[in-house]
Structures are given as C-alpha cells and as structure tokens.
Amino acid sequence: MHDIDQITNLKSELTHVQNQLKQKEIIIDSILEGTMAGFWDWYIQDNYEYLSPTFKKMFGYEDHEMENSPESWMKIMHPDDLNMVKENFDHYIKGRGQEPYITEVRFFHKNGSIIWVQCEGKVIEWDEDWNPIRMVGYHIDITKRKKIEKERKYTAQLEKKNQELEKFAYVASHDLQEPINSIKSFADLLSDDRANQLSETSKQMLGFISESADRMGKLILGLLEHSNIGLDRKIETVDCNHLIQDVLQDLDKIIHDTGATFKIDTLPKHLKGNETELRILFQNIISNGVKFHVKGHPPRITITCNLQPQHYLFEITDNGIGIEKKNYEKIFDIFTKLNIYSKYEGTGIGLAHCKKIMDLHQGKIWLDSTQGEGTTFYLKLPK
C-alpha cells in the first residue's frame, strides 16, 4: 500500500513538472513569436535538431514544411557561408566552448530573397572526451541592419569620392588659371604691339583667342567657386532680411540698368545656416530673375516665405523668359546653359551652386515655370 502511494505521488509530481514545462514552453514560444527569434536545440550525435516554428517562419516556411534536422537549414544557407559556419563550429569545439559561438550568415527565404541572420549558440552537454552532445542557440533576423550598414558604407564611399573630386576640381581649376591668363595676355600684347603689321583677319583671330580665354577663365573661376562651397563651414543664425538687402546692394548696377523692381515680404530672422553660402544661393536666383527678363518688360521679383512645421519655404518669383518643363532638373547640372540662354552672359554654373548649397543645408530646391511668363523657385530649408 505504501508503494502504491509513492507511485501515485511520483505520478502526481511528474504531471506537475510536465505542466510546468509546458507552461514554460508556451512562454518561450510567445517570447520567440514576439521577437521573431528562432530557437534551435541540436542533439549532435543523434543528428536530430529541433527547429522552432519561429525559426522556420523566418525563412517563409510553416512548421510542417521543414524537417527537424541540420540538413534542413544547410539546404537553405547561402553556399558561400556554409563552409565558414562549419569552420567556426570546428573552432568552437576545439576551444571547448571557451569562446562564444557567434556568426552572421545568409539564408535563402522561400521567396528567393536573402535573409541575413545572427546566430548564437552554446554546447550545454559534452561527453567525457569533450565531444559535443547537445548544443542550443537562437537566430535573429538582421537583414534590415545589414541593409542600413550597406547604405552607410555606400554613402561614406560616395562622400569620399565627392571630396576627392572636389579636391581635384580645386587643384585643376587653380592650376589652369595661370596658362589661361598667359594666353590672353600674349594675345592682347600681340594685338597691341603689332596692330600696324597685322591684317584684319589676324586681328579678328587674336580677338577670338582673347574672348575665348576670357570665357575659359570665367568657367574655371566658376569651377573653383563650386569646389570651395562647403569647405570650412560655419553654421550661424542668419537674418534673411539683412541678407537680401546685402544681395540687392551687390546687384545694384544690373538692377539699375534693367529697371528691376522688388516686392519682399518679412523674412525669417533666425535661419540656421552658413551665411556666405546662403548669400550665394539667393544672389544667384535673384540675379537670374533680373538677367533673364523679357525684352521690353522690366524685371519684377517677388520674395516670400511661408512658415511650415519643420521648415521655411521661400518662393522667389520673376516675370522672365521662363524654363521648359523638360529642363526643370537639367538646369541644376553644372555648366548647363540652355539654348534659350545662349544670348545672355553667364557660365551656366550658378544654379549648380544653389543645388549644392541646398544639399549642404539638408534642404530642397525646385521650380515651376511658364515660358514667356516667368519662373518661381522654391527653397525648402529646415528651421
């Protein structure tokens, strides 16, 4: 009778323990479901490996679609990573688990896409000869993290290339100025000293050389200025009202010559940015509005600013010759001078300056235009 009572008690305790284990499994499964981590339990010498439903779901499979065996995950692992995983495992076993087993590998999802996984494991049972018997671990999907890392690396490489290009542009444009100036000086000197000995055709050719050297000099100067934008930047608080007045003073001659008029709203007094760059930005857009006007119609420029939750939106509108819609993006490329502007003086680099300055200020520039009626430039700058 006593033995029967003991057996009954043992069964009762066993049932209690089984219920506790079941509850813990439910809790673990819930945690894994919430975190999307995949759990695995590998009985190495029996070649059996339990793969949790979340492990399989990570790769697009239902529980019944993958067998609980090492071969299941080996089949879907990227072949370039499989040998590395085996080498890492051998290294871990030889070190008797003294160093943690952590690796990052690629798997193929059921839909064919690549899933990056961080795998961590630990042998929890060894035999007397230090051969592994049982190993447990988990997988975490790190695909998003890998994508971000790749984008950051690409951005860093791009920034490095841009810096190298800007440095090259600076050096090249600086070194080119001297020979260009020499060509112009020799052409002018020859034209002046030998004026009585030169034919009209020769004088005309020397004039072409001098004019071409002038244009080349302006292009090189523009390239030099473009490469300098963004160097030694100082962010400060800028009063846009004062800045615009300074720009108008600098453009006083062309404003007077064209009879340009301005309507300017009250502008932000506390814009964060680099004052020199912002001055170049507004000066280029305003001077374009004055320069590219319809013959017989004096330029009219309107400058407003709308306050948005996170940004200032400036609008600079003119009544000039306008821009075709197909050129809305192209006009911001460096050295782009559209055919319609060929009769106007300029290098075609001013709006490229503006685009670069807006990028440096984490802003955006775009335009809307009607040919023969005018153009509005929009400048969206963060507060």
Torsion of CA 143, 144, 148, 149, to 10 degrees: -30
Cβ neighbours, 10 Å, residue 81: 17
CATH number of the structural domain spanning residue 325: 3.30.565.10
pLDDT of residue 244: 95
Give me the residues of the chain with pLDDT under 50, please.
Answer: 34, 339
Same domain assignment for residues 98 and 111: yes
**What's the rounded Cα separation, in Å, for the pair 325 and 298?**
24
pLDDT of residue 150: 87
Query: Looking at residue 353, what is its pLDDT?
Result: 87
CATH number at residue 181: 1.10.287
* Same domain membership, residue 82 and residue 150: no
Q: How high is the pLDDT of residue 151?
A: 87
Predicted confidence at residue 104, as pLDDT, reads: 92
What's the token pair of residue 216?
A: 């080349």
Q: Do 304 and 321 belong together in one domain?
A: yes
61/124 same-domain check = yes
| pLDDT value of residue 191 | 74
Q: How far apart are CA 79 and CA 156, in angstroms?
A: 29
- Integer Cα distance of 77 and 72 in angstroms: 9
103 in the same domain as 11: no
